[in-house]
Amino acid sequence: MFLLTGYWPINDTKVGDPEPQTRMLIDYFRLFSFVNVCKRIFLLLIWAEMAENSQKTCLECGTRITGRVDKKFCSDQCRIAYNNKLNSDETKYMRNVMNALRKNRRILIELNTTGKTRVCRERLAERGFDFGFFTSTYTTKEGAVYKYCFEQGYLEVDRNFFLLVVKKEM
Ligand SMILES: [Zn+2]
C-alpha cells in the first residue's frame, strides 16, 4: 500500500488519520483515478490517430486512404491524373512552343530547296512563320546572327530578305 500511495505507512497511524477502511478507499480512488487518467490518455491517443487517419484522403478523388502515412493517392491512376492536372498548364505552354518550332522548321525545309536559298519576308510570313521562336543562334565574326529552328537556319540579309541555311551537324 505504501508503494501505491507514496506515504501513510500502515503502522504509523496518528490521531485524526482516516480509518484503515477509509484509507483503503482513498488509495483505491487514487489508484482508480490514475488508471482513469491513463485510460483517458490512451483513448485520446486512439482518437487522435483515428482523426488523423480519417483526414487522409486521396488528393485526386477524395477517397479515404488506409495504409502508409505518406500515401497521398488511393491509386497510381489518381496519382498520374493529379500530376497531369498539376502540370497541364506547363505542358500546354511547352506543347504550343514545340508546335511553333516544328511549324517554323517545316516552313524552312519547304522554302529552302537548294540548301542555301534566298527568300523574301512575305513568303515566310504568309505560311505562318513565327520569328519569335527559334532554338539557337549563331553569330559570325562579322556580327551576322543566324537563327535556327533545330537544324534549319535563317539569316536576315536585309529588312525584306532572308538567307535560309541548314546546319550540317551539332
Ligand atoms: Zn483516388
- Give the gyration radius of the chain's Cα atoms: 40
AA letter at 24: M
Cα 87 to ligand 1 centroid, rounded to whole Å: 18
Which helix (DSSP H) or strand (DSSP E) does residue 137 occupy? Answer: strand 136-139
Cα 48 to ligand 1 centroid, rounded to whole Å: 24
- Mean pLDDT, residues 29-42: 78
Dist. CA 74–CA 59, nearest whole Å: 8
Grid cell at residue 152: 534549319
Q: Which residue has the cell 551539332?
A: 170
pLDDT at 150 over 90: yes
Grid cell at residue 52: 488523423
Cα 57 to ligand 1 centroid, rounded to whole Å: 8
pTM, rounded to two decimals: 0.53
- Residue 44 burial (CB count, 10 A): 10
- Mean pLDDT, residues 106-125: 97
Cα 47 to ligand 1 centroid, rounded to whole Å: 25
pLDDT at 76 over 90: yes
pLDDT top residue among 69 and 164: 164
**In this predicted structure, what is the pLDDT of residue 61?**
93
Dist. CA 49–CA 37, nearest whole Å: 18
pLDDT at 3 over 80: no
Angle at 42 between CA 39 and CA 47, to 5 degrees: 120
- Mean pLDDT, residues 67-84: 89
Dist. CA 104–CA 150, nearest whole Å: 9
**In this predicted structure, what is the pLDDT of residue 79?**
94
Cα 54 to ligand 1 centroid, rounded to whole Å: 15
Cα 94 to ligand 1 centroid, rounded to whole Å: 27
**In this predicted structure, what is the pLDDT of residue 2?**
46
- Mean pLDDT, residues 79-91: 85
Percent over 70 (pLDDT), the chain: 85
pLDDT top residue among 94 and 165: 165
CA 7, chain centre distance (Å): 60
pLDDT at 5 over 70: no
Residue 121 and residue 156 in contact, taking contact as beta carbons nearer than 8 Å: no
Q: Which residue has the cell 532554338?
A: 135
Residue 134 and residue 100 in contact, taking contact as beta carbons nearer than 8 Å: no
Cα 128 to ligand 1 centroid, rounded to whole Å: 43
Name which of 9-13, 30-34, 128-132 the model is least confident about: 9-13
